[in-house]
């Protein structure tokens, strides 16, 4: 296993759930797990988010998220929070598109509400700027740390091993398996599972395999002082065209520019201009009157060219398995993604939750001519 974010630990957990005799070793190049994207997520359960295959994988994840085994968590992973989308007069078409898409998906309710209802869900909005509003009432915050730890507990209890501060510099085919050249010395493996996130194509290159065309995108987030009010029950609020979003986080407010700016795989840092643009948009849309930022960071959301995930054995070497391209859905889909990746790694069959999944939408070979 390469990569200690939410994808890597979930796949490792489910591999050992399917076969406890496996020797599973997870390699993470950083000193701590979940250093990059996993630890920087807005962490919402939005069942209507992403491509059709992503929605199936979200549905397949709900049982673990809602009914996590008691021995894997200390507290429930979900806390109910509606998601509110607002738009101005100029954004009528975007509102209509979201309503049509929400009804078409028929996963959870997506409904239009009036301005008074929108204001009750997020009282800091500027009423004069709300022309129409949509709410997804069945959404929830996800405890990312608790979810990640649930998989770590599961894989460790089943005998899996985690090795940090270990980067894979080369993966050399060795008979039926691989010889991994790492910064901690050589490691032999029968199978390599690539859960390296933004570095997924880089890892494939070290194995002599073709990339799938992953593109990381920056997303800026920051914390500011809250309004000093009781925010219990407030929604996650955002612009219908993804110009900004925010929610309460204890006494502070979690805010984002919601941008998608291309990036190389890296440990990105916030840029002052991006934070300033977000503040301008938020002050125009809300009465929060942001003047300063308490902390800021950037996460990378990585997409394949068609925005569906890349999961399964590489068509040129079935002992190299992909699990990348989660985009903005990696947290909420992690139980389903972990399980289906494990099942495909071990040769199937696929379990019942994936009955509606079109495997052609996620196969790594879909980006290669003639495959």
pLDDT by position in tens, the chain (length 371) = 999 999 999 999 999 999 999 999 999 998 888 665 555 667 899 988 889 999 999 999 999 999 999 999 999 999 999 999 999 999 999 999 888 876 666 567 889 999 999 999 999 999 999 999 999 999 999 999 999 999 999 999 999 999 998 999 999 999 889 999 999 999 999 999 999 999 999 999 999 999 999 999 999 999 999 999 999 999 999 999 999 999 999 999 999 999 999 999 999 999 999 999 999 999 999 999 999 999 999 999 999 999 999 999 999 999 999 999 999 899 999 999 999 999 999 998 999 999 889 999 999 999 986 55
What are the distances in angstroms from CA 72 to CA 111, 147, 201, 290?
A: 35, 9, 32, 39
What are the distances in angstroms from CA 335 to CA 13, 50, 68, 229?
A: 9, 16, 10, 36
- Identify which of 150, 206, 120 has the alpha carbon closest to the alpha carbon of residue 38: 150
Task: Please name the residues in contact with 348: beta carbons below 8 A apart, sequence gap of 6 or more.
Answer: none
> pTM of whole model > 0.75?
yes
CATH of domain 82-138+215-303: 3.30.9.10
CATH of domain 6-75+143-212+306-367: 3.50.50.60
Same fold, 6-75+143-212+306-367 and 82-138+215-303: no
Q: Go through 21-59 and write b for each residue having 16 or more CB atoms within 10 A of its CB, e for each that does not.
A: ebebbbbbbbeebbbbbbbbbbbbbbbbbbbebbbbbbb
- Identify which of 287, 225, 233 has the alpha carbon closest to the alpha carbon of residue 253: 225
Q: Could you tell me the residue ranges of all domains in the chain?
A: 6-75+143-212+306-367, 82-138+215-303
pLDDT of residue 32: 85
pLDDT of residue 48: 83
Q: CB–CB of 44/142 below 8 Å?
A: yes
């Amino acid at each position: 296993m390469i990569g200690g974010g939410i994808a890597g630990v979930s796949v490792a957990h489910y591999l050992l759930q399917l076969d406890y005799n496996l020797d599973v070793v997870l390699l993470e190049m950083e000193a701590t797990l979940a250093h990059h994207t996993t630890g920087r997520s807005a962490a919402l359960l939005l069942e209507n988010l992403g491509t059709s295959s992503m929605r199936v994988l979200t549905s397949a994840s709900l049982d673990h998220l809602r009914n996590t085994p008691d021995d894997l968590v200390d507290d429930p992973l979900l806390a109910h929070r509606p998601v509110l989308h607002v738009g101005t007069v100029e954004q009528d078409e975007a509102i209509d598109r979201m309503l049509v898409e929400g009804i078409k998906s028929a996963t959870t309710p997506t409904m239009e509400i009036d301005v008074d209802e929108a204001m009750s869900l997020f009282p800091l909005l500027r009423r004069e700027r709300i022309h129409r509003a949509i709410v997804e009432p069945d959404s929830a915050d996800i405890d990312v740390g608790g979810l990640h730890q649930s998989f770590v507990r599961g894989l460790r209890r089943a005998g899996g091993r985690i090795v940090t501060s270990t980067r894979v510099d080369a993966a050399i085919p060795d008979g039926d398996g691989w010889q991994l050249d790492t910064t901690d010395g050589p490691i032999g493996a029968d199978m390599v599972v690539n859960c390296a996130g933004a570095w997924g194509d880089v890892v494939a290159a070290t194995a002599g395999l073709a990339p799938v065309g992953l593109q990381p995108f920056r997303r800026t987030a920051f914390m500011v002082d809250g309004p000093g009010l009781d925010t219990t029950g407030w929604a996650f609020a955002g612009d219908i065209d993804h110009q900004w979003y925010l929610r309460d986080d204890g006494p502070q407010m979690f805010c984002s520019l919601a941008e998608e700016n291309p990036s190389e795989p890296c440990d990105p840092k916030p840029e002052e201009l991006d934070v300033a643009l977000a503040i301008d948009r938020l002050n125009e849309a809300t009465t929060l009157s942001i003047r300063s930022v308490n902390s800021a960071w950037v996460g990378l959301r990585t997409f394949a060219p068609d925005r569906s995930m890349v999961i399964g054995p590489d068509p040129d070497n079935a002992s190299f398995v992909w699990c990348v391209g989660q985009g903005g859905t990696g947290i909420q889909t992690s139980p389903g993604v972990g399980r289906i990746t494990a099942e495909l790694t071990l040769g199937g069959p696929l379990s019942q939750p994936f009955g509606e999944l079109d495997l052609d939408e996620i196969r790594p070979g879909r980006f290669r001519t003639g495959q």
